[in-house]
Amino acid sequence: MAAMAALHLHAQAPASSACVAPPESFALKSRALPVWQLGGAVLFTAGMTIDADGAPNAYAPRNGGLDYTANARGAHGWAALVTNRKGDPVRQKKGPYRGFYVSTTSLEQPGVSDVASPKRYIDARTISYIVLPRNFADRFGISLGDLAIVFNETNGHSAYAIFADVGPRTRIGEGSIALARELGIPADPRHGQALGHITYLVFPGSGAYRRKRITPANIRSAAARLHQQWIRESTLCLINPDGR
């Protein structure tokens, strides 16, 4: 993959090169994560757990959904479900998943005003998305809707994705069911994961223009253009690393 070849060349560049700054350290719960900023993109390597949020069948009473219902809770109550005024999860009233809870994502589809409609949220089954902690995104200028390339170093699979959900502050490395499938990772939210060797290349500011409905095709076409532009700029920087 051309992107990874460029990353390898970047990694070999001298620390004084204008192309590559030394990695910054981002504190996780158990370790410090090295994070590089390369050609306007943000790069890090981690594992991947599987996120079902946004899927209409993600959560249900008695753990009847794709994921354990407990995983929809945060430190201060329900974090991934629509709730009523009493704080109880709202159930779907019609459709194939009648009785299931309405699972949310931080990023929402444009033009859907009903907060209790599953169509308002980014479906983890069909959309390849990544999850980032809010403090990580803020630190590196990444916003919801920004695009990314994700690479599985173990099998060589890669995929384009969108930043669609905000996760816990002390964890990084999480992606949707659809993304896991594209990367050849076991995609069961309850048990599937990759323990490492997943490289994320995120393009800050790349989603600012987006007004269309979020679809796999729209993500691929927009991210592919960014990918090619990043490769061209990276190649020029490597040819002339001092920017002269």
Name the residue among 19, 67, 71 with its Cα closest to residue 43. 19
Alpha-carbon distance values, 81 to 48, 63, 64, 128, 185 (Å): 22, 14, 15, 20, 26
Any domain includes 115: no
Helical packing angle, 2-12 and 216-239, nearest 10°: 40
Any domain includes 211: yes
Range of the domain at 203: 2-51+124-239
Could you give the number of structural domains in the chain? 1
What pLDDT, in 10s, does the model give residues 146-175? Answer: 999 999 999 999 999 999 999 988 889 999
DSSP state at residue 65: S
CATH number, domain at 224?
A: 2.40.40.10
What pLDDT, in 10s, does the model give residues 176-206? Answer: 999 999 999 999 999 999 988 999 999 999 9
Any domain includes 75: no
Please give the Cα distance from 215 to 176 (Å, whole number). 14
Helix (H, G, I), strand (E, B) or coil at 127: coil
Any domain includes 177: yes
What pLDDT, in 10s, does the model give residues 35-80? Answer: 998 888 999 999 999 999 999 999 999 999 999 999 998 877 898 9
Any domain includes 70: no
Any domain includes 140: yes
How many C-beta atoms lie closer than 10 Å to residue 119's C-beta? 13
Any domain includes 77: no
pLDDT mean across residues, the chain: 87
Please give the Cα distance from 65 to 57 (Å, whole number). 5
Entry pTM: 0.89
Please give the Cα distance from 79 to 73 (Å, whole number). 5
Q: Which residues contact 219 (CB under 8 A, 6 or more apart)?
A: 127, 128, 147, 160, 161, 162
